[in-house]
Amino acid sequence: MFKKILFATSATEACDHAARVAFNMAKSYNAQICILHVLGVPTRGFSQVVLDVKTKEKVVLDDEYIAWVEEEVKVHYSKQIETVQNYEIKVAIGLPHREILRAAREIAPDLVVMGGSTGDDEDSVYKKSMVGSTLQRVAKVAPCPLLVVNRPAASFWGGMSNVVFGTDFSKASDAAFRFALQLVKALDCELHIFHALDIGSMHLGRSMTQDEIESNLRESLHRIRGRYIPEMKDVPEYDFEVWEGIPYVEIVKYAREKHADLIIMAHHTQKSSQEDTRLGSNIEQVIVRAGCPVISINR
């Protein structure tokens, strides 16, 4: 299912947990892995002076320096590289999200893997964490699924047995469901379909009554049965539940209860023309809080 993986990294300890997942997947599926490191941003225009993301120093860019950075990346991941048969290291210069998307278009991977944060946010060359900038922009227009590994506790991709799919019944969620269905069939694991009824926000200026909550819960279960269950014929193990509460809190709790190895959600359910639209608040919070990797699907 995964034959080509793009692993975008800052080549620092902040991305080591994402690296373990990326390399374990490459080993498990005998996939080619491309390790992409965005060296830094030109200080102005097309200047040869670059602000190095790791050293935070201004350096004059030439072939020798790029070769040195490539060797540094290779040394940093030397143990992981020994476990895979086919790998490539690419060093790019520019804004991280643009270079990651450029590489994704050129390489056409089946999956992009990123860490949830570059770490060291206050002194970061990019001024923002990945969740605050790079991750959001990549997730919005990535041409393939994006796997985010945010916490060290989620730094393994082993015998997958439980996948949680979170839905809000949008068209974007339907796309995420198709991917989830394909994945659980390929990996022969259980699928848990989950919807969280949002009672954290006011409805028409008032809170829902308990009768309204119960009615909406029943309606949501009915929608799951009609929308997703007919597609589950070839999935031997599955279940579905609807809880009420704050969606991202309930999704994380549900995934923990199911001992989920992976959460799959749609990236964003609302259209926006702004390039810097923030990640849908629910998936952003799930990425930050979940104890397992999260896959974002935007198409």
Predicted model pTM: 0.85
Burial class (CB in 10 A: 0-12, 13-18, 19+), 65: middle
Per-residue pLDDT of the chain (299 residues; tens, 9 = 90+): 899 999 999 888 889 999 999 999 999 889 999 999 998 777 665 567 777 777 677 777 788 888 999 999 999 999 999 999 999 999 998 888 999 999 999 999 999 999 876 544 444 443 433 445 788 889 888 999 999 998 776 666 656 789 999 999 999 899 999 999 999 998 889 999 999 999 876 555 667 889 999 999 999 999 999 999 999 988 989 999 999 999 999 999 999 999 999 999 998 654 444 444 445 578 888 988 999 999 999 87
